[in-house]
Structure 1
Amino acid sequence: MNQPQTVPIPVIQPLRVVNRVDSIDILRALTMILMIFVNDLWSLTNIPAWLEHVPGGVDGIGLADVVFPAFLFIVGMSLPLAVNARRQKGDSDKVLIGHVLMRSVALLVMGVFLVNGESIDETATGLPRLVWNVLACGCFIRLWSVYPKTADRWNVLIAKLVAVGLLVTLAMVYRGENNSRFATHWWGILGLIGWSYLGAALVTVFARNRPAVLVAAWIGFALLSMLASAHVLPEAISIIPSAISGGTLVGLTMGGVVISTLFQYYRERGDSKRMTLVFIGVSLVLIGFSVYTRTFWGLSKLAATPAWLFLCSAFTILAFTAIYWLVDVGGKAHWFTWIKPAGTDTLLCYLIPYFAYAFTTLLNLHLPDALLTGGVGLLKSALFALLCVWITGRLNTVGIRLKL
């Protein structure tokens, strides 16, 4: 008797949640290393002017003026991946918006504290600036650390409440120049990232991966950048923080969102060559926009001109494309393993220099002038940036990791 034929039951594989891409992490790591490097240039003398920030009112940019916009662009590149991963895990739009708001507030709080530390009156406050920064950064780590699942929740809660209490105390005792009180003099680098993230993240959530909506939003912020530079925006828009209403910073982040969405489209189809041609074409168009708009408003980071938005976006796209071919296509991700912590725990890496500067000052450690001059000095700053990455990695291995 013939055995009945059996029909194989297809196995449905669960959707793979992808919220990390090697090339994006490596680009973020390299950008953070550059950020620490250029932030340390203040300690050097006799170095090339093109490495530093271009002064206000000057038409042009230096290396230091390219790093921050690149980081904003990379924030945007991570957004669609993160939002899609959370959606696949079951997060609703309400939950996603709550996460975006909480993360934005955290970045704003950190930015404002570090900005106030820059202009602190140490005598009136009763604390040296470096101690202020260390205490504030220590509180940030306590508040936004990734605690083990086995940690007692009451101990975690107490640790966070102590951190909040200390931050409130620091704000209350603070005195700045001319006896000024703790205030949002400006938002600082982290605060500007917070506002840019807020604007781009909300668009990303509501766009639901619709390229037309994302491109339209990017065009809208680019036009807003031009209108702001032309000083023709209505007075009523001043109630919106300038980091958003100015258009440029959110435009940088939205550019990253658009490129990341295109990247996912081409990656799913395995069409790296066409993606590369598209990215190069987009970069050339952006460079053209930069050259054209520069004739009206100049090229300036401090003025956040449209030309700066377009040019830095193009640079970052080209850098990402090169790293993608080296890492994802060429399989060379292992070349960058040693800088991985700067790409996966970027916030902690950014805070490390505040502890390092305080440590060397309190111990009265000073390098010889010969190590702070010219090419030798630049090597020192590069090694310092790499040391911060190494420290971040060591802290990660003992369970200290930040996540907003």
Structure 2
Amino acid sequence: MNQLAIAARRVLSIDVFRGITIFTMVFVNELAGVQNVPGWMKHLAADVDGMTFVDLVFPAFLFIVGMSVPFATAARLKKGEDLRQIFGHVLIRSLSLIIIGVFMVNTIGGYDESAMVLPIHLWVLLMYAAVLLIWCHYPKHWPRAATLAPKLVGATLLLVLWYLYRGNSGQGMTTQWWGILGLIGWAYLMACIVYLLALKVSHAYGHLAFLLLAAAALLGLFFAFDSLQADSGSALAVLIENNRNNTHAAIVLAGCALSTVFYNDTLAGNKARNATLFVALSGVLALLCWQVSPISKIWATPSWGLFSVFFCSLIFAVTYYWVDVRGHTRWCQFFAPAAANPLLVYIIPYILIAAFGLAGLSYRPQLFDAGAAGIAWSLAFSVVIMWIGALVSKMGVKLKL
């Protein structure tokens, strides 16, 4: 097991990459509501063979989740936890992401406000209040009862909101899709199962090979399920419907592999060589896969997944060189709050929009609904969200799953 050693620590270049990704995610989410902007600043349609930088944001987050897994696992092993305890933590964290993701999806569409007891904006604000109560990081010196009480209040509030929700057809909440956080939750769970199994391989190179082969196998599963048909409601139909989870988990595993290549004591001898090989290999595989699989973020095709791995590994390699090798770190402070508190920064825009909606106000003036003005607004909006995230973090509010 010592050949698999990765020090339990924070890595500045990974934090910076995470912070940049969160900032970009806030920017593109806001830009999605702006008209008359260049096509390369929007998601491409599912049937268009290609991707924009916008289509790279979500897989970048998956990739960073994967890069963090070896360090988080090392930290828990250092505390004396066994693999079963670590898996229990992974399971709770995954379920938390899935629950929040499903609730968020149902706030975006599919609801019938006229049939609900509460206005949808108030429902949304209460939902995020419950999320904060349940998953907020409370001071360690607080007694157990003081931390358990708000969590129970939050869980009760979520159940009440679930009961009060009404959909367009009179139904309650549904998994219209898992939402961004839900998809991350499923991919994280699948990849962590593989990573924990890979720890059984005692040799560093065998461990790395296990991760890479598992990622390839998941992409192979995508092709296998994509060619199948099944009766609606059957177990096979469910697997086919959630086929994109295989690609998402493969991206997470690629992130695990890159951290292993960079920071494993046995493998991390020549980082420049390792980074070059990893980037080049992922690029070649992406080009080869593109010959048989169109690029589509919506469908989560293997070629999109491999190109995402290529670009993410390239971006991280450049970030690592600039930050960790050259020591240019002053600019990193802007991204620090999002890196340390990413989930909170991610949900702040939704909280603000719901608050403005409840007050009957439009948070974005009509002047900024289109064109260059809309792009400038989206950029400024993202900066403000980062500042708010920094302020709230300094106040001690932190979401920790």
Tell me the TM-score normalized by structure 1. 0.89
> Is residue 2:382 matched to residue 1:392?
no
Aligned to 1:35: 25
Q: Which residue does 1:48 correspond to in 2?
A: 38
Q: Is the 8 A contact 1:326 1:332 kept in 2?
A: yes
Q: Conserved in 2, the CA contact under 8 Å of 1:224 and 1:245? A: no
Aligned counterpart, 1:275 = 274
Q: Which of 1 and 2 has greater Rg?
A: 1
* Maintained 8 Å contact 1:124/1:175: yes
Map of 1:9 onto structure 2? none
Shift of 1:367: 4.2
User: Aligned in 2, Cα 1:211/1:366: closer, same or farther, shift over 3 Å?
Assistant: closer
Residue 320 of structure 2 corresponds to which residue in structure 1?
A: 324
Counterparts of 1:203 and 1:163, CA distance in 2: 32
Contact 1:56 1:302 (8 Å CA) reproduced: yes
Tell me which of 191, 211, 220 is aligned to 1:223: 220
| Whole-angstrom distance in 1 between the partners of 2:6 and 2:257 | 22
How far apart are 1:280 and its partner, in Å?
Answer: 2.9
Take 1:283 and 1:16, find their aligned partners in 2: how far apart are those partners? 23
Structure 1 129/53 Cα, relative in aligned 2: closer, same or farther at 3 Å? farther
**1:293 maps to 2:292:** yes
Equivalent residue for 1:380?
Answer: 377
* Superposed CA RMSD: 2.2
Counterpart of 2:91 in structure 1 is 101
Aligned residues of 1:229 and 1:306 also touching (Cα < 8 A) = no
Q: 1:340 aligns with which of 331, 336, 345?
A: 336
Distance between the aligned counterparts of 2:245 and 2:55, measured in 1? 18
- 65-74 or 365-374, which deviates more: 365-374
**Equivalents in 2 of 1:198, 1:394: separation in Å?**
32
Query: Alignment identity in percent?
Result: 36
Q: Structure 1: where are the runs of 5+ without partners?
A: 1-14
Offset from partner CA, 1:316-347 (integer Å, 9 cap, x none): 11111110101111111221111111111111
The question of whether the paired residues in 2 share the 8 Å contact of 1:237 and 1:245 is answered with no
Write the letter of the residue equivalent to 1:327. V
Partners of 1:196 and 1:244 within 8 A in 2:
no
Paired with 2:95 and 2:389, the residues of 1 have a C-alpha distance of 24
- Looking at structure 2, the residues matched to 244 and 173 of structure 1 have their Cα atoms a distance apart, in angstroms, of 32
Matched with 1:213 is: 210
CA contact (8 A) 1:279 1:321 kept: no
- Do 1:266 and 1:275's aligned partners in 2 also have CA atoms closer than 8 Å? no
Q: Which runs of 5+ in 2 are unaligned?
A: none
Give the secondary-structure state (helix, strand or coil) at the position aligned to 1:302: coil
CA contact (8 A) 2:183 2:245 kept: no
Asked if 1:68 is matched to 2:67, the reply is no
Kindly indicate whether the alpha-carbon contact (under 8 Å) linking 1:244 and 1:250 is maintained by their aligned counterparts in 2: no
- Corresponding residue to 1:111 among 89, 95, 101: 101
Q: Is the 8 A contact 1:283 1:314 kept in 2?
A: yes
Matches within 5 A, 1:115-194: 115-118=105-108, 119-194=110-185
| Distance (whole Å) between structure 1 residues aligned to residue 246 and residue 229 of structure 2 | 13
With the length of structure 2 as denominator, give the TM-score of the two structures: 0.90
